[in-house]
Amino acid sequence: MAYLLRTLLLIMLAALILTIGTAHGFWSIGFSHIELAIPTFIFTLFVQAFVMFYFIGVNRLTENVYNALQSPESLHELFDHPPEDLAPYKEKSAQFVRQTQTAKRQTLSWTLLIIVLGTLGFLLGGAHDTGLVAKTVHSGVIYGFSLAVLIGFARQWFYLGKTHLYLRQLKGLFSISDDAM
């Protein structure tokens, strides 16, 4: 899943660069930046929502595993025959919960900022097109959006790799199949 999300992030970044480059007149591909902005914005929303729910889901899975270890009635969800000493499992699971919470905290704020600034920039682009706001207002928000995308992209890329490893280690610890969530 992390590889799919990284691929989507790369496509999103390429589409944003193409749209901004077209707006500045760096190249002409037969479409105006307005025609490119609509599908790019929709795709950006999709990718950011997908990334956001990935981090929320992985954190929720690790919390569920940790909570199952705390309750003797829930141990059958993780083990066919629960071991006598659960301390190593609890310790490692608590570590995974902390790590996935950190990844979630480090990425969700950028994801939400990207969505909010992208929405504002998109709406202000329409407002500029109809003459309601100056071009500098739309451009300023888009520059802020671009910076948020670059920082968010780097953070998401980094934590997607780390979270993917945490998830594989957690699944390996409890012999959970790779396709289970």
Taking 90 as the threshold, does the pLDDT of residue 8 lie above it? yes
Residue pLDDT, tens place only, 63-106: 988 888 888 777 777 777 777 888 888 888 899 999 999 999 99
Residue pLDDT, tens place only, 137-166: 988 999 999 999 999 999 999 999 999 998
Please state, rounded to an integer, the average pLDDT across all residues of the chain: 89
Give me 159's structure tokens.
């934590």
pLDDT confidence of residue 181: 57
Q: How confident is the model at residue 33 (pLDDT cuts 50, 70, 90)?
A: confident
58 near 100, Cβ under 8 Å?
yes
Q: Count, in order, helices (H) and strands (E) of the chain.
A: 4, 0
How big is the CA angle at 123 (ends 144 and 138), to the nearest 5 degrees? 45
